[in-house]
Chains A and B, each alone.
Chain A
């Protein structure tokens, strides 16, 4: 099932117009606020979900300079739909390993939250996707972000207030745990796009159509702006998805975990690992006030991305993203 979250050609034109306007605004902003601090991003080679995953993730978190001691953490995996035939969701073993690693590093609490954009029954989806089996006491740890109580977290322009789940706002640290995937509307879906799941379906629907009308790229940037100060990322790139992602694509054994405290820097690194030019990804271009895309301002730790680069298959619509 494709992640068809948007309406039409009319919308696309409108979004393009909105996107261009936002891009213009972002360029203007970038002139004022170019990122000039090196952001560490750690790349770890990891071939499977089985062997010593938690140890590897613990190392990645430490090497990326992510502080978790004493903090109440919310893990935000990417849980979309379930199909045995492909790799749509953040692997449940990956989520379990991150939780174990963060507890070992001294996190005060590590909960898990997600608000899927298509499927109405979050709990059943989590069960089908293997989360109950992989994560001990999952039912006590999980919060359905689509149905949590809400508080205003910002504004969505002409669409009014941006409401967010209380569990997201109450956490000291949000850890975005995306799957490394191509995306047929945004080019790629990584740590920033993953934050769509932090918007409550109970208010915005299934799909969260307001975000599409506001503009997909604009929404990605808006959510990153809203949560970036307390959000870090650990990307499940062990098996990613290429082609017509984020749902109908094919699994891609990429064999990496990427961790960092700066979301644009993490996503830019993932793009390079996927053989994609991050400078051509519009939402990253629009995020220059949030973090660097330019490799001079990303301190690559661990494996060099160019050594592990694998060219993810791109649909013709996104062929121009190829690095």
Chain B
């Protein structure tokens, strides 16, 4: 499977060096970053990073796609790629500073009247954990937070600093705070209007990726939930991400190759490759960075 995914991924690289979500589509930041990580040591990744040099905005963030010029959450993934390649350049530093500066909008507080009337909170979460949003100025969610935490952790040995450490710690706390009752995670709401919400396999895997290196009962519960999801034989993105999460946490699991073909979305293709036994999951974890 690894060879097939690699061949497909390489064949899908656009002439400008980037990748679209599907074959023939113009380049976008997210698939480009995932593909660049999957092929981290290759010339293809060099070409991708060359393209992205022109996509970095004055604020330090890479744009989601050239048309929009909108700062992209996948900036974190590009930082991961740079860390994996040991490219501690000015682009890495500026992106890192943008990530450290970016704080989600504070949400989830109860008013004194709500507390007095003992009203069920609309959304049960710790409002103080202003982690990372999908787009600047909005609330914090699991996936952008996971990617930011990985980027900051991989950068920490080179950059250091109390602020960086604080942001990593806050991100990890936010991930733990959003854990669903079943032990897994969804996009970021565990209980709403008094009802528990269920976890999703892909988000559970992502949260565990964000918590890699972590120990404790919450992580153990998360792994158990991820294993429950795995037993239901998920496919596509969920399957690809769960393989990465299990490998990062050193969990023994019955591996199944991710089915890929010409229609497989680029991010799934890249993650399938990242999750191979010799894949770039080690770089994402920081083992060989």
Contacts and interface: CB of A to CB of B under 8 A. Distances in A.
Contacts of B22: 147
A8 B127 contact: yes
Contacts of A2: 189, 192-193, 195, 197
A147 B21 contact: yes
A139 interface: yes
Interface stretch (B35-43, B53-61, B109-117, B152-160): B109-117
A295 interface: no
A209 B135 contact: yes
A147 B265 contact: yes
Nearest to B206: A120
A210 B64 CA distance: 15
Contacts of A139: 263
Interface string B65-96: 10110100100000000000000000000000
Contacts of B202: 119-121
A8 B26 contact: no
B98 interface: no
A306 interface: no
Interface string A146-162: 01011100000001110
A209 to B, nearest CB: 4
Which of A151, A205, A244, A315 has the most chain B CB atoms inside 10 A of its CB? Answer: A205
Given A149-B26, A205-B144, A213-B138, A124 B107 contact: no
Contacts of A11: 107, 139
A8 B120 CA distance: 12
Contacts, number: 138
A7 B64 contact: no
B198 interface: yes
Nearest to A209: B138
Given A119-B200, A120-B237, A150 B67 contact: yes
Contact of B109 (A8, A184, A212, A244): A8
Given A10-B108, A205-B73, A124 B21 contact: no
Contacts of B102: none
Interface residues of A, number: 43
B235 A124 contact: yes
Main SS at interface, chain B: loop
A206 interface: yes
Given A7-B139, A210-B135, A203 B193 contact: no
Interface string B147-188: 000000000000000000000000000000000000000110
Interface in B95-135: 105-111, 114, 121-123, 125, 127, 133-135
B273 interface: no
Contacts of B110: 9
A139 B22 CA distance: 13
Interface string A205-218: 11101101100000
A13 B113 CA distance: 13
Nearest to B64: A203
Contact of A121 (B30, B135, B187, B268): B268
B28 interface: yes
Given A9-B122, A206-B187, A121 B237 contact: yes
B139 A202 contact: no
B281 interface: no
B238 interface: yes
A7 B105 contact: yes
B266 to A, nearest CB: 9
Contact of A202 (B21, B127, B138, B195): B21
B141 interface: yes
Nearest to B240: A121
Most A Cβ at <10 Å: residue of B25, B109, B192, B268: B192
A9 B134 contact: no
B276 interface: no
B143 A9 contact: no
A1 B197 contact: yes
Interface in A13-67: 13
A86 to B, nearest CB: 12
- Lowest 8 A-B CB distances belong to which pairs? A205-B134, A7-B107, A8-B107, A121-B237, A147-B21, A4-B192, A124-B236, A8-B108
Interface of A: 1-2, 4, 6-13, 118-121, 123-124, 127, 139, 144, 147, 149-151, 159-161, 163, 184, 202-207, 209-210, 212-213, 244, 248, 315, 317
19 contacts: A4-B123, A7-B108, A8-B109, A8-B127, A8-B139, A118-B186, A121-B236, A121-B238, A127-B235, A144-B265, A147-B28, A149-B26, A202-B21, A202-B65, A206-B134, A206-B143, A209-B134, A209-B139, A213-B105
